[in-house]
Amino acid sequence: MADSQPPPSRGAPSFDSTLEDIPTPPPRVQGPLLDTTPLEAVPSPPTPLGEPTGTPVIHVEFDPAVLEEGQRWEQERIERRLRGDYERATKQLSELVNDNLDKPFRLNAVTVYGANRTRASFLASVLSPYLPSLPSPSYSTSAPATPSQSLRSILHTSREVDGKLAQFGIFNDIQTTVVKSPSVLAEDDDVDIVVNVKEAGGKRLAFNADVGGDGEATTLAAEAPINGSPFTKAAMTLFMAERNLNHFAACSEVAHGAQLSFRTVSNYGAHELSYLASLRKICDILPLASISIRDQAGSTVKSSLTHTFVRDTRDDLVMARHGSHLKLQQEYAGLGGDVNYLKASGEYSISRTFAPSYSWSLGAKAGGMYTFGQKPSLLVDRFHLGGPTSVRMFKNSALGPKDSGDYLGGDLHWSTGASLVTPLWGKPEWPVKGHFFANAGHIVAFDNATKPYTSALKSLFTQPSVSVGLGLMYKHSSTTFIAPTLRPVLSHRLLHSSPFAMTNPISEIVHKVIPTTSHEGDQPKTEEEPRINPETGLPETKNEKKKREKAEEKERIKAEKEAARLEREAAAKAAKEAADVDYSPDSYGKLPLNQSQERTKTKRAQFKEITAANDGEKVTFRARLQTSRAQGAKMVFLVFRQQSSTIQALVQVEKELVSKKMVNFCEKINPESIVLVEGTVQKPLEEVKSCTVSDAEIKISKIFVESEAPVVLPFTMADASRPADDETGGQVALDTRLDNRVLDLRTITSQAIFQISSGVCNLFREYLNSQGFIEIHTPKLQGAATESGSSVFKVSYFKGNAYLAQSPQLAKQMCIAADMEKVYEIAPVFRAENSYTHRHMTEFMGLDLEMAFDEHYHEVMETIDGMLKSIFSGLKTKYADQIAVINKQYPHEEFTFLDETLVLQYGEAIKILQEAQVMQPNEQGEMVPIGDHDDMNTTTEKALGVLIKEKYKTDYYIIDKFPSELRPFYTMPDPSNPVLSNSYDFFMRGEEILSGAQRVHDAELLESNMKKVGINPEEMKDYVDAFRLGAPPHAGGGIGLERVVMLFLKLGNIRRASLFPRDPKRLNP
């Protein structure tokens, strides 16, 4: 699949020609002001004395301005010619492509050039889904397979291949071209997709060296896709990092290690599973470091497994105006090494725009870790809180437990925040925005030996650190700057002693945010112990104390006001909830599993019986919910479906009858769920054109979910019902439909197709019963292959073998020999033909008949003709509504037939083809005129159908007197011309639907024919013996039910007319 050199130019002309490719006129100077006479015609001046004679010297003097003007004119003329040639060729190519978009082609191969270092197996896994499985080539059968693709679909495939390869990021300059297949085995309609790429060599191994204010890191990373998917990758990273922790602890961290990760991306988010092995070292301890930091100095080994899930739909990572961000992470460290803990964290944020240039966002984080054993967690493994990404207005990681001047982090934490971004001074176009925010958070630590986990959990939600303020945000094309608060409104925090710190007076001081006030009559005041300024680590001055007390007083007043406001809001909410009583709790919900607990015998309504005449009537029905659409918070429109009938319904808030919660319940019912509904029929305000019941709707009073469908379906009913020629929305591929056949069969189009399929069987029975036929049921297991072993399924049968019946042919004939006179059967037929085309299946429903005739086999042919025309007429009269439904999704011309059916001799049909100069391939694959006794392949049959439609204005006709060599051994030869036979085929829209003939009913002639085709008469002794007992002359035929339905409705593929199709590639569902 990969090659080092591009292929030779094929197919459409190239428009990359250079100037040298354009024919050049004879050399002469040409222009508006210059002489055009050839130089050889100009008389030479006399040779000056003293100069050598010989070749004459020509002196031509040009005005420089004139020469420059002439050169410019000549250049413009060449450019105009090039541009005209290019535009003309482009237009011709465009017209050529557009005129052939629906022409059938087959994709033979996808070839990639330039991928010299890319594994061929990787490219094969990526590109093989785009290569359709082709039928057997024409040289192996008598008729080449029909292309199952068009130029339009192949061009779409080339675009998908281009996009797929681009997603991996390993190729540059990808160019795709569709060319005629150069393979010697290719047929005329075979094409290849040729892809020329340039490999992006430097992107598979990445080396980074980052230096920042907190340290530096060096990484070496390698990444590769897995299973041919750009969304699933594996990565290996080696790293060395040094981090300065002085902004919150008096030390630094150095880490070396490796990480192996697997990452996959889906529509729901990105999952990453990674393994980390690293050596960490706490070093560069400063002189003022606390005991807690000094205790952790040294090296530790960590071996951990981490899972991370991220879903990010934000439109900007910092100044988001819309979208959300979710991150969940779980880590287990203990696969060897010095640490053993379980750690989990999560964060979520959401942003929305509520007015032009105004946006708000909410966010929350939480996490916890549990250390196994008696050792406390380490500084570098704990959570750290504080800073612009968690609780603003505090230094990074400067919240939580503290020992002297070192912030030690914690094992449990939470934080939340809200932001409002506004334009400044009514200037929404300015990149500078106003930023209002409020944050809160808390972090605590625990030690298995001194502070149990339950105690830490209790203290987690008491006295959080809070900040409220405003600031500025500046959005640059590459960077977002956030200025700290211009004016702090509120800021306070808690200082905690470390549970694993050495005892000293300073580290045990606890700073209470809102101190309680003391009133007269209380206990006498005691002298307050000096507080420590958290910024300097020294006792606060009087000035600092006054500022603190003033701020605390403001905080207390504000807290009291906030408490009063919350109390008022809670009272208002309680009043609102009391007013919003659910007064219809028994009118909606989910029903328990139906185990036939009871039988109420309630009459159930059918949509096809509901009209405007039923206005005001109460009805109960069961249906599927097709779609729902909310109109505000108090009304929901729903569309229900019963088989191929649909009706609109609505539910709206109605005092004492329908509550708001019931309306909300209806809105959230998953599409395709089965519901039980009670309601009243009413006339809609206007005709409901989107439903089959257009003059009535249902006002719902009760609704219950009987069987709930999943939230996500393989495809929607809207996409599955979209017209085949509609390119405005997504089309559901046929294989996707067949893989989810139960869902596909629910569409009103599929329902109509199989109602018509049932109608064909009913009309078949009705006509033949009226003609004195009886229905029989023949066995499908046979002891011998009836025609050709290559087209028969062999199955194990106890200690021997049996064969699945190709047709009920032999059994039908034996019934005629048994004096049943006229018989028919509707039963499955099995054909072991490895043909993957639009009209072949390995199992289909056969409509077979056989009858004895009085004088001539045409009596049977005319009976079959009458039966088929009865079916065609019955479908048009009894199933007009279903045909109209199908025509919306699969548009087609109405099927036409004559009152007196057109019957052509085989020779007459061949003559029509010869007169039209129709060609078909011979055994060597060469296109030659069709011979008088040649078998017609599928393409030739379709060409004949087009010619007959143009000449005779009919889609239905009969061809009689086929050559004997083209028919089975049991076909009766023509009495006047043994080369021909008493056989016939019936055609619809140029494709054969029935093959039949007069059968050989003489045992000796039958045995002779069997031997000629290599069948041992002894293997079919019971069949031959039936004719030794005497049998009347008889004839019959077999019809493929699915093929009749496909051609009558012009569905394009027989699988659409088969309930659960079987072909060489499909055995399920």
Which is catalytic among the residues 467, 644, 995, 1058?
A: 995
The tens digit of pLDDT for each residue in 189-224 reads: 788 888 888 877 644 555 565 555 566 788 888 877
Q: Please state, in angstroms and as integers, the Cα–Cα distance from residue 258 to each residue in 220, 262, 263, 306, following that order.
A: 9, 14, 16, 14
831 labelled catalytic: yes
Q: Please tell me the chain's helix, strand, coil percentages from 3-state DSSP, rounded to the nearest 5.
A: 25, 35, 40
Instruction: Look up residue 196 and give its amino acid.
Output: N
Asked if residue 538 has pLDDT above 70, the reply is: no
Mean pLDDT of 878-890: 93
What CA–CA distance (Å, rounded) separates 818 from 288?
Answer: 113
Q: Residue 44 has what pLDDT?
A: 45
Return all residues near 1003 (Cβ < 8 A) that are at least 6 apart.
1024, 1025, 1027, 1028
What CA–CA distance (Å, rounded) separates 300 from 287?
Answer: 22
- Grouping H, G, I as helix, E, B as strand and the rest as coil, residue 166 is helix
Average pLDDT of the residues of the chain: 81
- Cα–chain center distance at 18: 43
Task: Grade residue 495 by pLDDT with cuts at 50, 70 and 90.
Answer: very low
Which is catalytic among the residues 331, 850, 992, 1042?
A: 992
Which is catalytic among the residues 187, 697, 833, 1042?
A: 833
What CA–CA distance (Å, rounded) separates 563 from 93?
Answer: 76
What CA–CA distance (Å, rounded) separates 546 from 792?
Answer: 102
Q: What six digits make up the tokens of 28?
A: 């002469």
Q: Residue 856 has what pLDDT?
A: 96
For a pLDDT cut of 70, what percent of the chain falls above it? 81
Asked if residue 228 has pLDDT above 70, the reply is: no
Which is catalytic among the residues 384, 392, 496, 831?
A: 831
What CA–CA distance (Å, rounded) separates 990 from 975?
Answer: 29
1043 labelled catalytic: yes
Asked if residue 643 has pLDDT above 80, the reply is: yes
Q: Please state, in angstroms and as integers, the Cα–Cα distance from residue 293 to each residue in 403, 407, 498, following that order.
A: 9, 9, 11
Beta strands in 116-268 (DSSP E): 149-150, 171-180, 190-199, 205-212, 215-226, 229-244, 252-266
Q: Residue 504 has what pLDDT?
A: 35
Beta strands in 743-830 (DSSP E): 774-775, 781-782, 794-797, 800-804, 822-830
How many residues can be counted in the chain?
1069
The distance in angstroms from the start CA to the end CA of the chain is: 33
941 labelled catalytic: no
Asked if residue 491 has pLDDT above 90, the reply is: no
What CA–CA distance (Å, rounded) separates 10 from 6?
Answer: 11
Q: Which of 87-91, 276-280, 330-334, 560-564 has the lowest mean pLDDT?
A: 87-91
Asked if residue 43 has pLDDT above 50, the reply is: no
The tens digit of pLDDT for each residue in 749-781 reads: 999 999 999 999 999 999 999 999 999 999 999
Instruction: Look up residue 248 and give its amino acid.
Output: F
Question: What is the C-alpha radius of gyration for the chain, rounded to an integer number of angstroms?
Answer: 43
Mean pLDDT of 565-592: 80
**Residue 753: closest CA among 879, 895, 897:** 879
Which is catalytic among the residues 413, 839, 989, 1034?
A: 839
**Residue 224: closest CA among 337, 141, 121, 310:** 121
Asked if residue 537 has pLDDT above 50, the reply is: yes
Asked if residue 514 has pLDDT above 60, the reply is: no
Pairing of strands 341-355, 323-337: antiparallel
pTM, rounded to two decimals: 0.49
Pairing of strands 104-113, 2-3: parallel
Q: Residue 422 has what pLDDT?
A: 86
